[in-house]
């Protein structure tokens, strides 16, 4: 018995859809990309990865054409427990990450610490919905009402909600990822949701070289620049972060399967909660806020535990249960942060503890009662 961190979500339908695209020879960004964007939601812009989605969102919010744009030197509050490419687009655009601690129960950004960390240069917050667990959406709404730009990193949280609002519905921007090991996949893929049509058009311009081919209505640009070939009219800086038709074709099939994937993840998470609840004296699991989409199943070994996280992980791995660190631990402790201006608020002791003593196991559509029972038996043999 092996309990993997993830099992592939795609099957014959996705393979057939990809082959159909290949046979058509229409493989670069086109109609299927547009169809996926429409099915995902209003003002959705598909790109080639979740990391690229974060990059596009920050590039748009700092762009010279954006009203009240974020400026170099502005501070953006981020959670210590985050992924590297949540933070890198900030420093790449001259913004200053302000790293704050987490709530040890939910693993999400600590709202009380956020309020204390805010200063005269604070312009934005970029929270991560950690492992599919929704952040405090009411708190984010309050900050937004106060003029703080909110960028929701939903890359681990597709399908999660606070009970009323899906993640991504509060922020000025929201980003999603469709990497191989995520809730649904295009193998690689990402998406940004903007609040307005104008901002989604800017995202499309930045996504593809700075040209105007892909926006809703480029007639004003074409009229102003009649002397330039309309197929190669560049009105801004840009990247090449486009998704392919193959990715979109797979994604359309995956969207139809997503409700089932989420239901299984939630079923497995509830079963794993029952297993690990027997070890509350030595272990802590993530307290669910709203309706998590359970990207994985996080476990933190308590400071008072007679065993270490290393010992427990070795025991699980030796018995066929794969483990991994929770995101990248405390981003403030990663050596690359020394290269870039940033500010650390407080001692980050909770994020440090998660980095030192936390890990996750699988919680996905490929698991069921048999895998959960194997975890239960292996934990019992540990004798904690």
Mean pLDDT of 93-101: 98
How far is it, in rounded angstroms, from Cα 118 to Cα 112?
10
Domain assignment present for 231 = yes
Residue 279 CB neighbours (<10 A): 20
Residue 54 CB neighbours (<10 A): 27
Domain assignment present for 220 = yes
Domain CATH code at residue 310: 3.90.1150.10
| pLDDT of the residue at 124 | 98
Q: Give the global pTM.
A: 0.96
| pLDDT of the residue at 233 | 97
Structure tokens at 168: 């991504």
Q: Calculate what percentage of the chain has a pLDDT beyond 90.
A: 99
Residues in Cβ contact with 160 at an 8 Å cutoff, skipping those fewer than 6 apart? 129, 132, 133, 134, 154, 166, 167, 290, 291, 292, 293
* Same domain as 228, residue 104: yes
* Same domain as 109, residue 247: yes
| pLDDT of the residue at 383 | 80
Residues 319-351: tens digit of each pLDDT: 999 999 999 999 999 999 999 999 999 999 999
* Same domain as 288, residue 228: no
Domain assignment present for 311 = yes
Domain assignment present for 7 = no
| Bridge partners (DSSP) listed for residue 174 | 152, 193
* Same domain as 288, residue 177: no
Which residue, 253, 271, 289, sits at the end of a domain? Answer: 253
**Do residues 326 and 352 touch, judged by C-beta distance below 8 A?**
no
Q: Annotated catalytic, 182?
A: yes
* Same domain as 260, residue 249: no
Residues 134-186: tens digit of each pLDDT: 999 999 999 999 999 999 999 999 999 999 899 999 999 999 999 999 999 99
Domains identified in the chain, total number: 2
| Bridge partners (DSSP) listed for residue 109 | 102
**Do residues 178 and 250 touch, judged by C-beta distance below 8 A?**
no
Domain assignment present for 3 = no
Residues 50-80: tens digit of each pLDDT: 999 999 999 999 999 999 999 999 999 999 9
For residue 284, how many C-alpha atoms fall within 13 Å in the half-sphere facing its CB?
Answer: 19
Alpha helices in the chain (DSSP H): 12-24, 31-40, 50-61, 84-92, 111-117, 137-145, 197-207, 219-224, 245-276, 309-318, 349-357, 369-382
User: What is the domain range of residue 96?
Assistant: 12-253
43, 129, 182, 315: the catalytic one is 182
**Do residues 140 and 152 touch, judged by C-beta distance below 8 A?**
yes
* Same domain as 281, residue 215: no
| pLDDT of the residue at 384 | 75
Domain CATH code at residue 163: 3.40.640.10
Which residue, 220, 236, 253, sits at the end of a domain? Answer: 253
Domain assignment present for 2 = no
| pLDDT of the residue at 232 | 96
Q: How far apart are the first and last CA of the chain?
A: 22
Domain assignment present for 83 = yes
Could you tell me which of 215, 299, 290, 228 has the C-alpha nearest to residue 34? 215
**Do residues 27 and 19 touch, judged by C-beta distance below 8 A?**
no
């Amino acid at each position: 018995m092996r309990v993997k961190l993830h099992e592939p979500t795609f099957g014959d339908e996705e393979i057939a859809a990809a082959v159909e695209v290949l046979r058509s020879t229409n493989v670069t960004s086109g109609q299927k990309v547009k169809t996926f964007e429409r099915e995902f939601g209003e003002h959705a812009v598909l790109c080639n990865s979740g990391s690229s989605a974060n990059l596009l969102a920050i590039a748009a919010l700092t762009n010279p054409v954006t009203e009240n744009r974020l400026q170099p030197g502005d501070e953006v509050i981020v959670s210590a427990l985050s992924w590297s490419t949540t933070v890198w687009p900030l420093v790449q655009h001259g913004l200053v990450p302000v790293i704050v601690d987490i709530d040890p129960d939910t693993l999400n950004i600590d709202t009380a610490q956020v309020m204390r960390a805010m200063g005269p240069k604070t312009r934005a917050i970029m929270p991560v919905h950690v492992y599919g667990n929704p952040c405090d959406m009411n708190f984010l709404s309050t900050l937004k009402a106060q003029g703080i730009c909110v960028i929701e990193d939903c890359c681990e949280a597709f399908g999660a909600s606070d009970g009323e609002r899906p993640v991504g519905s509060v922020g000025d921007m929201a980003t999603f990822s469709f990497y191989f090991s995520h809730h649904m996949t295009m193998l690689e893929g990402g998406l940004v949701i903007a609040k307005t049509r104008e901002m989604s058009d800017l995202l499309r311009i930045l996504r593809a070289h700075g040209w105007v081919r892909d926006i809703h209505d480029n007639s004003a640009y074409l009229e102003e620049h009649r002397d330039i070939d309309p197929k190669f009219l560049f009105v801004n800086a840009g990247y090449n972060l486009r998704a392919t038709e193959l990715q979109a074709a797979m994604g359309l099939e995956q969207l139809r399967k997503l409700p089932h994937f989420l239901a299984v993840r939630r079923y497995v998470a509830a079963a794993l909660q029952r297993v690990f609840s027997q070890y509350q004296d030595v272990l802590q699991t993530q307290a669910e806020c709203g309706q998590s989409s359970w990207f994985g199943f996080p476990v933190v070994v308590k400071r008072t535990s007679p065993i270490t996280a290393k010992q427990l992980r070795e025991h699980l791995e030796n018995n066929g249960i794969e483990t991994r660190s929770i995101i990248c631990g405390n981003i403030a402790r990663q050596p690359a942060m020394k290269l870039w201006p940033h500010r650390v608020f407080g001692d980050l002791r909770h994020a440090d503890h998660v980095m030192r003593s936390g890990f996750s196991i699988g919680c996905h559509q490929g698991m069921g009662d048999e895998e959960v029972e194997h975890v239960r038996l292996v934990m019992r043999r540990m004798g904690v």
